Structure 1
Amino acid sequence: MLAAPVDVVPESPDLLHEPKWDGWRCIAFRETDGVYLQSRAGRNLTTYFPDITRAIRTLPHGVVLDGELIVWERGRTNFAQLQRRVTAGRGLLRLVHDCPAHYVLFDLLADAGGQVVLNLPLSERRVRLERLLADAPAQLAVTPQTTDMRLVADWLLTWTVAAGIEGVVSKRLAGRYEPGRRGWWKFRTRIVTEAIVGGVTGSIRNPDTLLLGRFDRRGRLRYTGRTHPLTGLQRTELAGLLSPLRPRQHYSAAVVHPWPEPLPASWSGQLDRPEPLRYVQVEPSAVAEIDADVAFEHGRWRHRVRYARFRPDMSVYDVPLLLGEEEGYFGDLG
């Protein structure tokens, strides 16, 4: 079952709210001869999470669970550690030992013996899920739920920074579980902050998207993400504000941009590696105000951000440092 994005958290006495965890959605099948873990896209994740399959083996045969795979690091979720599970190879067992995963569960699709419970109301599925996991290993945790909007506000204002949740998912207390249907609602916590424009796709005079960066503590401009496609008005505005690289006297050869061209595929932070990105390098002197969510790893926003406006009043040295290298790097929570 899926969730439709919303701009505000819906309020109603017949709704429950849960934290939206920054991890991998996963359906777990406790089969007679073992455990099978399946991603939202249908990918087999079983071999990458021996710690989770071991925990699920303690549950009765026939159980089917829905939840989020996460890894904690220093009290926050760390999405990059999940990605390392896929590429660890022979180092997987060491990684499992050093960075164990957790499976945060929010739904039960089949109970002990394979009893399908999709048509039961969410409230009853929740009771069964809690009963099922009462004596389960600590790596299998039931996600918090609430009907209290004050607690929801606390999650959004405090847990976003402290624990790394992405927002809130809202569900009907009496709702059935309907695979493939967007019958839930998800609100993502977003920030308003700034970044330096270091490149564009398309051309400087007609940019399609912006490639953004921030300085690290050593003063190096690091790539931090890419915007959604620009609107026609935004393209027109930016066409007169962006500049090609300017030669500098201290360079003995061609001007050196701090990022490679094309942009390496691995810089995107995605699970499925895309192709290297061709782009046009620009003079990194323009500051853009952006609207972003709080999902990031390797110092980069994992999802594309929204360009809001040009900030001619700001120097590039007024822009916050690289994500994770300073206090308050989430910007202003909105």
Structure 2
Amino acid sequence: MLVTLTERYFSDPQWIFERKLDGERCLGFRDGADAGLLSRTGQSLTDTYPEIAEALGGRDCDDFVVDGEIVAFEGTRTSFARLQQRIGIHDPCQARASRVVVTYYEELTQRLDSPVGDHTAGELQERLVDVVADLPADP
């Protein structure tokens, strides 16, 4: 099924609705003093979005993984075209100089029993799926 923009809304208790964020999905992590970002294919995005990696590094918890979306805004809407000006930049200074402000929306936080570096990106994603499956249906 393709996503379709509409002005007509409906509600159904059997459906879960999420705002469409037109950005770059990635995992954010912190393992002790190390914090960073990984793409869905396991490539580092830390130098492309250094301000987000720094924000993750500043958290109180020092061992976590978050699944989220990096977006850029054009007015009040997310703009993938604007975000593309950052995608592919691998130098933190150039990324900051691009003047494209980015935001990271976290979808789930999970504390790990062992350091992030002991897990592959696929294992981390599976772990997040397991956590979602264990969440109560009606919080």
Q: Under TM normalisation by the shorter chain, which class is it?
A: 0.5 to 0.7
Task: Please tell me whether the aligned partners of residues 73 and 99 of structure 1 are also in contact (alpha carbons under 8 angstroms).
Answer: no
Q: Secondary structure of 1:91's partner?
A: helix
Mapped to 1, the partners of 2:129 and 2:75 lie a distance apart of 36
RMSD: 3.2
Q: Shift of the alpha carbon at 1:93?
A: 2.2
Give yes or no for the alignment of 1:47 onto 2:50. no
CA spacing shift, 1:37–1:12, aligned 2, 3 Å? same
Mapped to 1, the partners of 2:53 and 2:28 lie a distance apart of 9
- Equivalent residue for 2:84? 83
Q: Shift of the alpha carbon at 1:124?
A: 3.9
Q: Shift of the alpha carbon at 1:14?
A: 4.2
Deviations along 1:273-317, one digit per CA (max 9) or x if unpaired, are xxxxxxxxxxxxxxxxxxxxxxxxxxxxxxxxxxxxxxxxxxxxx
Mapped to 1, the partners of 2:76 and 2:11 lie a distance apart of 29
Stretches of structure 2 lacking an aligned partner (at least 5 in a row):
114-126
Q: Shift of the alpha carbon at 1:54?
A: 1.3
- TM-score (normalised: structure 2): 0.66
- Equivalent residue for 1:119? 130
CA spacing shift, 1:62–1:76, aligned 2, 3 Å? same
Tell me which structure has the larger Cα radius of gyration. Answer: 1
Task: Please tell me whether the aligned partners of residues 29 and 65 of structure 1 are also in contact (alpha carbons under 8 angstroms).
Answer: yes
Q: Shift of the alpha carbon at 1:92?
A: 2.2
**Which of structures 1 and 2 has the larger relative contact order (alpha carbons within 8 angstroms, sep 6+)?**
2
- TM-score (normalised: structure 1): 0.31
**Which 4+ runs in 1 deviate beyond 6 A?**
7-11
Deviations along 1:171-219, one digit per CA (max 9) or x if unpaired, are xx48xxxxxxxxxxxxxxxxxxxxxxxxxxxxxxxxxxxxxxxxxxxxx
Deviations along 1:98-133, one digit per CA (max 9) or x if unpaired, are 32210112223x22xx256643446848xxxxxxxx
Deviations along 1:36-78, one digit per CA (max 9) or x if unpaired, are 2111222211111111111111221221111110011322212
Q: How many residues align?
A: 118
Residue 102 of structure 2 aligns with an amino acid whose one-letter code is A
Residue 53 of structure 2 aligns with an amino acid whose one-letter code is T
- Equivalent residue for 2:68? 67
Residue 102 of structure 1 aligns with an amino acid whose one-letter code is T
